[in-house]
Amino acid sequence: MSDGRTAESPDAVHRSRLPLAFGLLLVVVALAGCAGPGSITLTAADDARLAEANSQPVDPDGKRGRIVGEAVETGAANDTAISGRAVESGGEPYRYDGAYYNLSRTVVDEEEAYVAELEVDYGPTNVTDADAVRFSALPPADRRALGELFPPVSDRRDEGYDVGKLGAYTPEELADSALADRDETTERVVIVDGERHRVRVGEVRQATRKTYRYTAEERFASDEAYADHLRAEHQFTLSGVPAEEREVLRQAADGGYTADGEDDAAFQSVVDRFRGRDAIQSSEFDGEWLVRWNDQTYLVDIRFGEYARN
């Protein structure tokens, strides 16, 4: 490309044994919500705990932290990402320097790009140097694509591929890549700090690289302000609770309560009691509520399990 821009990493590092894990993970997540008997946990929540639990985390050293910080401090931040892998906007606010902000984004540019599935087998014993290449000798796009995977996060070595991610390339970078090939899966030995690692690059597919402009709007100036908002919108008081339900709540506040099979009448009654109230967030499988009980404010997390069907 004439402007010399590079495709950004999609920030999609995953600890997987095989590419099949991409699909299996979705199945596991979908089934996890309805498996098991159901449970409830009550967590005492002061202003800081309540605000933190309902905001998106920001790592100051990560991409998200850079974008949020720059948008707050300068009014806007630009970033590029493969479509579908941009920093999230909307939803829960971001906490930055003690205040809470909504992040908005707009697309200001887009162009053709490619993504490739990269996997690394750390320190295999059955490799030769016949096709080895030093990390420092790789083209810049390959070094960028692999950069998050080195050095390894642990010294553990398993048989087969240990870790993987998606790497992004412009058409020109893909043509110059020493690792990725549009037409076939490739394997190379890459030498990093004197140690040999096997790198496999699987499917290369076309994608869209977008440039986003982010802006931040302050919603709440402090933990107290955000917590006051959450209490005003969602908190309710439990009263007139029968003894059987009180025992469920007592155990839930003392480490958690798990339903006794599929016919726990007390747990079912508690679930019905909360389902009739406005949740901070909920789905068919679980939910989070804010409740005042026994002169204490609690965040209530309920996993419906088998009771999702009732």
Q: How far apart are CA 92 and CA 281, in angstroms?
A: 10
Burial 267-293 (b: 16+ CB within 10 A, else e): bbebbeebeebebbebeebbbbbbbeb
- Number of helices and strands in the chain (H, E): 8, 13
The pLDDT of residue 279: 96
Contact 201, 118 (CB under 8 A): yes
Residue 148 phi/psi, 5-degree rounding, is -70, -15
Give 129-176 pLDDT, tens digit per residue.
778 999 999 999 999 999 888 888 777 777 788 989 889 999 999 999
The pLDDT of residue 277: 95
The pLDDT of residue 258: 97
Which residues of the chain carry a pLDDT beneath 50? Answer: 1-33
CB within 8 Å of 279: residues ≥ 6 apart: 234, 287, 288, 289
Give 173's DSSP letter. H
Q: Which residue has the tokens 């804010």?
A: 290
Q: Which two tokens stand for residue 59?
A: 């790592």
The pLDDT of residue 229: 98
pTM of the model: 0.72
Closest by Cα among 202, 182, 181, 192 to 127: 192
The pLDDT of residue 35: 58
Q: Which two tokens stand for residue 93?
A: 């606010």
Residue 180, Cβ density class (10 Å: 0-12 exposed, 13-18 middle, ≥19 buried) = buried
The pLDDT of residue 4: 44
Partners of 57 in beta bridges: none
Sign of CA dihedral 52, 58, 61, 66: negative
Element (H, E) at 231: helix 223-234
Q: How far apart are CA 258 and CA 36, in angstroms?
A: 9
Q: How far apart are CA 21 and CA 7, in angstroms?
A: 25
